[in-house]
Amino acid sequence: MTSETTNLPTAEQIRRAPKVLLHDHLDGGLRPATIVELARETGYDGLPETDSEKLGSWFREAADSGSLERYLETFAHTCAVMQTRDALVRVAAECAEDLAADGVVYAEVRYAPEQHLEKGLSLEEVVEAVNEGFREGERRARASGHRIRVGALLTAMRHAARALEIAELANRYRDLGVVGFDIAGAEAGYPPTRHLDAFEYLKRENNHFTIHAGEAFGLPSIWQALQWCGADRLGHGVRIIDDIQVDDDGGGVKLGRLASYVRDKRIPLEMCPTSNLQTGAAPSYAEHPIGLLRRLQFRLTVNTDNRLMSGTSMSREFEHLVETFRYTFDDMQWFTVNGMKSAFLPFDERLAMINDVIKPGYAELKSEWLFPKGPADSA
Ligand SMILES: O=c1[nH]cnc2c1ncn2[C@H]1C[C@H](O)[C@@H](CO)O1
Ligand SMILES: [Zn+2]
């Protein structure tokens, strides 16, 4: 039987659906073949594998450790091959191309400029190379029939002490390809308040930022990110589940003060399900807090985090969710509109993306069941 209610999105439809991505790391999304080539070109001899297929598997397995700290160790290899202007342009262009081919129409891609200075580039040269790559990738995507816009988020590493400098850099390149700021890296032992000066500076400049919080560490990290630092969004934020009580029979749900605040204020949560399984932040897709948080109507978005380390894509994240929770096109559209509402893009552009790109895209997909494919379609 085919009806709208039983018609779950297929993998092919999920790929064609317009998608919005707010949490994706540039140094976590390289093509394995590109890493191998760049290592050869730049003389980096530290790769654990030089066959691109084996290298891809190595990243997925090494990152699948149950610990954020071990997960983060794998980035030494990607950052090692991203130290020249040409390498950064290439990696950024391929990132935009790959996302567009996967049906992403708007993406905010983050990276830490301070991790790309080993061969003498300045912070400004790093930002300009990445921006150039994104523009090139957008052009190539258009040439192959896809439309995408990519904005950069500049990340400061939370164990380091350059956050204010990176925040100033983000502000200098505002309206020039950089749409906001973030902090990332090991969470335990490095609370966001260590970088309060950077966040206060950005607030004074009316600029936007998200903070990785509530991934490897729980509620105190989320609380600090919101109430001390003033984050616009939370990177992950899955541990907000620790402030929600569910009755044994699953019937009653009680939100604590912090969870209520997050929901009431519509704080966007950048969910990255597969990454959370790898770092141990969630035990399985079925038990991932996204299921409950979606039912409770938190402002949730779906993201990839690190496509290379997690062997994922936006489409694959949605495939897992459709399979696990039987999400429909309406659910997919809800996540996607949430993403667009939460983007660091001017309001008029967000609205136009929602009304002129996202909603028509889902309307088209939702109507396909009415027009079953015939033999002519496979010709
Ligand atoms: O999920 C994450 N949590 C904290 N830090 C992360 C995560 N994914 C990537 N990073 C780090 C490693 C990268 O080198 C850095 C900048 O993209 O951000
Ligand atoms: Zn992340």
Nearest 5°: the CA angle 265, 289, 278 is 120
**Burial (CB count within 10 angstroms: exposed 0-12, middle 13-18, buried 19+), residue 29:** buried
- Predicted confidence at residue 1, as pLDDT, reads 44
Q: What distance in Å separates the CA atoms of residue 249 and residue 294, rounded to the nearest whole number? A: 19
CB 350 within 8 A of CB 315: no
The sheet with strand 149-157 has its strands ordered as 19-25, 104-111, 149-157, 178-184
Q: Both tokens of residue 87? A: 């390498």
- pLDDT at residue 65, as a whole number: 85
- Catalytic option among 108, 128, 215, 270: 215
Structure tokens at 101: 């081919």
pLDDT of residue 2: 46
Ligand 2 centroid to residue 183 C-alpha, Å: 9
Radius of gyration of the chain (CA): 20
> How far apart are the C-alpha atoms of 166 and 310, rounded to whole Å?
27
Q: Which of 79, 154, 212, 270 to mutate to test the pocket of ligand 1 (most atoms within 8 A of CB)?
A: 212
d(CA 22, CA 249): 35
Tokens of 265: 């204020």
Q: CA-CA distance, 24 to 109, in Å (whole number)?
A: 5
Whose C-alpha lies nearest to ligand 1, atom 14? 75
DSSP letters spanning 221-266: HHHIIIIIS--SEEEE-GGGGGGEEE-TTS--EEE-HHHHHHHHTT
Residue 318: left (phi > 0), alpha (psi -120 to 50), or beta?
alpha
Task: Looking at the chain, list the stretches that DSSP marks H as alpha helix, in order from N- to C-terminal side.
Answer: 11-16, 32-42, 52-63, 68-73, 75-80, 85-101, 123-143, 163-172, 196-204, 219-223, 257-264, 273-279, 290-295, 314-325, 329-341, 347-352, 359-366, 375-378
Q: Model's pTM, two decimal places?
A: 0.96
215 catalytically annotated = yes
Angstrom distance (rounded) from CA 296 to CA 298: 6
185 labeled binding residue? yes
Asked if ipTM goes beyond 0.95, one says yes
Question: What Cα–Cα distance (Å) separates residue 336 from each residue in 37, 253, 270, 333?
Answer: 35, 26, 12, 5
The response to whether 25 counts as a known ligand-binding position is yes
- Residue 374 CA, ligand 1 centroid: distance in Å: 46
Total number of residues shown for the chain: 379
**Which amino acid would we find at residue 328?**
T
- CA distances to 2, 3, 195, 214, 340 from 184, rounded to whole Å, are 45, 44, 11, 12, 22
Cα–Cα distance, 187 to 110 (Å, whole number): 17
Residue pLDDT tens, the chain, 379 long: 444 556 899 999 999 999 999 999 999 999 999 999 999 999 999 999 999 999 999 999 999 988 888 889 999 999 999 999 999 999 999 999 999 999 999 999 999 999 999 999 999 999 999 999 999 999 999 999 999 999 999 999 999 999 999 999 999 999 999 999 999 998 888 999 999 999 999 999 999 999 999 998 899 999 999 999 999 999 999 999 999 999 988 779 999 999 999 999 999 999 999 999 999 999 999 999 999 999 999 999 999 999 999 999 999 999 999 999 999 999 999 999 999 999 999 999 999 999 999 999 999 999 999 998 777 765 4
